[in-house]
Amino acid sequence: MARYTGPVCRLCRREGMKLYLKGEKCYTEKCPVHKRPVPPGMHAQSRRKPSEFGVRLREKQKLRRIYGVLETQFKTYFRQAAKAKGVTGVRLLQLLETRLDNVVYRLGFATSRKEARQMVLHGHVGINGHKVTIPSFQVKPGQVIAPTARGREHPRVKELAQTGLRTLPSWLEFNSTALEGRVLALPAREEIDVPVSEQLIVEHYSR
């Protein structure tokens, strides 16, 4: 599967804000957004004010990059959200939030969504006791997410088992004894802490 392999900090600078793509580094002074809070490129300082189309495009790109989803798959998510009952923008965010790699990240098994994706691909995560290696797997309410026997040897999982420290959104629960998490419900919009205006994304695809 195609995947962006360039410097992820460049993506944060392009969007003008931290997207938290590199885990713990994003919380330190080493973060390039601290050092150079301007878009990459020679003429970053002299760029014009973006058009309405440009604003909507940037919002879509920002959300896509936060979750590490390529354009084709992102369009598929939008079509699914548009067909579903409810507010299209919120349904889009719910589809992205309930991806397995994101749930693994939210539960604290990984420090970034990229690391969570690698854990899933390498067979470190299971759903209801069965190994799942598809990062885009949609986790449903009631399903249990836990590291496989191999996954329990992962450094981050070992650290989590020792400390038990975590801050969870209310739509997830975590059993520190069993080292497993559960999806309680689909997240409400106020429980999704991504800094985007989803209505601009809906307008982008509806133009």
- The pLDDT assigned to 75 comes to 97
pLDDT tens digits for range 8-19: 656 655 556 567
Low-confidence ranges of the chain (pLDDT < 50): 1
- The pLDDT assigned to 160 comes to 83
- Burial of 121 by CB count in 10 Å (0-12 exposed, 13-18 middle, 19+ buried)? middle
Query: Which residue range forms the structural domain that includes residue 26?
Result: 8-96+194-206
Domain holding 161: CATH number? 3.10.290.10
Q: Are residues 138 and 168 in the same domain?
A: yes
- The pLDDT assigned to 1 comes to 44
- Token representation of residue 62: 């920002």
CB atoms within 10 A of CB 111: 18
Query: For residue 3, is it within any domain?
Result: no
- The pLDDT assigned to 176 comes to 87
- The pLDDT assigned to 135 comes to 98
Query: For residue 2, is it within any domain?
Result: no
- Token representation of residue 56: 């909507």
User: Are β-strands 172-175 and 180-183 bridged in parallel, bridged antiparallel, or unpaired?
Assistant: antiparallel
Q: Are residues 104 and 66 in the same domain?
A: no
pLDDT tens digits for range 154-189: 998 988 888 766 789 999 999 988 999 999 999 999
- The pLDDT assigned to 50 comes to 82
Q: Are residues 169 and 141 in the same domain?
A: yes
Query: For residue 120, is it within any domain?
Result: yes
- The pLDDT assigned to 53 comes to 93
